Amino acid sequence: MSMMTINTLVEDIYASAIHPENWTPTLSRLAQITGYRGIAIVPENTNDDSLKLSSSVDKTPDHEYYTYYININPFRRLRPNLPRYKGLIRDIDLLSPDEIRNSPYYVDFLNKHGCSHTERIYICQQDIAFFLAGQRGKNYSYDKATSEIDLCFFSGHIKNSILMARNMHALSSKVNRLSYLYDQMKFGIFLVRENEDVIFVNKYGSSAINGLFRLSNNRLTFLSAHNQKLWDRLISTRQDRPPNAASSEIAAFTTPDGRTLLARSMPVPDIILDHLSVNDRCKVVFFHDITRDTGNMIAMLQTLGLSRSEAMLAQTLGHTGSLKESAARIGLSYESARSSLKTIFSKMGIRSQNDLTAIVTRLSSVA
């Protein structure tokens, strides 16, 4: 599968936050790429119609599911234990063959629509909780070509898109949208144009990062030459960068009062820029105060968006350079480690183990 195909699908996922009618074709393409017969987003709160989304153009199966079959799905008895399950949850691993063979949910519903079983990811954040569910066809057999990129790889983007849609609801102006989204965040957020003009700074960025820089004529000027050099590197859009260079950069800044701020820059997807009426390419830079976490590699990697288990793998791999050895050290199977590594790459905007090693090395140098 080409990187262009993946990037296009990710853009479509974020476009669906703005144009909900795009969810059906987007989920249909996701199903095709990942080898599912169909994919659905199923809200925990069944009264939340805005989250009842699926890849099916014919919504008859959706109606059947929510009006009847959801109540007799034997998988739902496992709901109290769901928070302890991480990653992909396969009902054929958790339910007995007899339960599946004798359940009307499987016999009269899934089988009727050409499906054999379901694989799910449980997502819960802020005020949303839902399953990202993929239905396997009756004749499904494992295919490495369609298993290289799985639901876990895209689940974070889908979660972010849904959260973005919630946060942007009923907002009309660009500044209000950005302020509403980001002023409540307890970390700094800077939106920077390709020409290095700063077009947005959230409340935390303008107030809590005092004494680190001056903002004048839409430009940040840092009071320390070292910090200025770090900033210039973060927002660089040099054309001479290698084509396979990581799209995400990190740096550690030191404030005059001795605090340590971990900064991360990432390109903003074009679809979001279009919605914000921003014509130039932009980067977003996040500043996190990690003073209390300095020296704690796991905590710093979690600040960058990784789960604790992903952070442990990233830290170990950054030091050993061997995925097989790293997996053994932290008690993961090699296949689980490979799957987690893909998620780490996606979350951190990097493309290779060398990029990850560079980040871990840079964090290790944070005093």
Residues 155 and 218 grouped into a single domain: no
Q: Residue 333's domain is classified under what CATH number?
A: 3.30.450.20
Ranges 9-13, 72-76, 244-248, 314-318: which has the least confidence: 244-248
Residues 320 and 193 grouped into a single domain: yes
Residue with the bigger pLDDT between 366 and 138: it is 138
In which residue are the tokens 């997502």 written?
123
Residues 342 and 274 grouped into a single domain: yes
**Model confidence over 351-360: pLDDT tens digits?**
888 888 888 8
Residues 1, 48: Cα–Cα separation, whole Å:
34
For the chain, the domain total comes to 2
Mean local confidence (pLDDT), 314-335: 92
pLDDT for position 110: 92
Task: Give the phi and the psi of residue 361 in degrees, each rounded to 5.
Answer: -65, -40
Residues 147 and 181 grouped into a single domain: no
Residues 249 and 227 grouped into a single domain: yes
pLDDT for position 229: 92
Residues 230 and 324 grouped into a single domain: yes
pLDDT at 52 over 90: yes
pLDDT at 184 over 80: no
Residues 90 and 239 grouped into a single domain: no
pLDDT for position 170: 37
Mean local confidence (pLDDT), 32-54: 91
pLDDT for position 275: 61
Mean local confidence (pLDDT), 346-350: 82
pLDDT for position 265: 87
Domain region containing 329: 177-364
Mean local confidence (pLDDT), 305-327: 91
pLDDT for position 109: 92
Instruction: Choose the final residue of a domain: 168, 200, 224.
Output: 168
Residues 208 and 325 grouped into a single domain: yes
Q: Which amino acid is at 147?
A: S
Residues 311, 248: Cα–Cα separation, whole Å:
17
Task: Give the phi and the psi of residue 158 in degrees, each rounded to 5.
Answer: -65, -45
Report CA-CA distances (Å) from 18 to 162, 165, 275.
Answer: 10, 6, 8
**Model confidence over 78-91: pLDDT tens digits?**
666 665 567 788 88
pLDDT at 47 over 80: yes
CB-based contact 235:265 (threshold 8 Å): yes
In which residue are the tokens 């979690």 written?
302
When pLDDT is cut at 50, 70 and 90, the band that residue 167 belongs to is low
Residue with the bigger pLDDT between 180 and 320: it is 320
Residues 163 and 188 grouped into a single domain: no
Residues 268 and 332 grouped into a single domain: yes
Ranges 73-82, 216-225, 295-304: which has the least confidence: 73-82
Residues 40, 143: Cα–Cα separation, whole Å:
21
On the CB side of 211, CA atoms within 13 Å amount to 8
Residues 186 and 146 grouped into a single domain: no
Q: Residue 31's domain is classified under what CATH number?
A: 3.30.450.80
Residues 267, 194: Cα–Cα separation, whole Å:
10
The token pair at 272 is 């979001």
Instruction: Choose the final residue of a domain: 123, 149, 168.
Output: 168
pLDDT for position 350: 83
Instruction: Choose the final residue of a domain: 149, 168, 187.
Output: 168
Residues 16 and 130 grouped into a single domain: yes
Percent of the chain exceeding pLDDT 70 equals 84
**Model confidence over 103-161: pLDDT tens digits?**
999 999 999 999 999 999 988 887 788 999 999 998 887 655 445 567 888 998 999 99
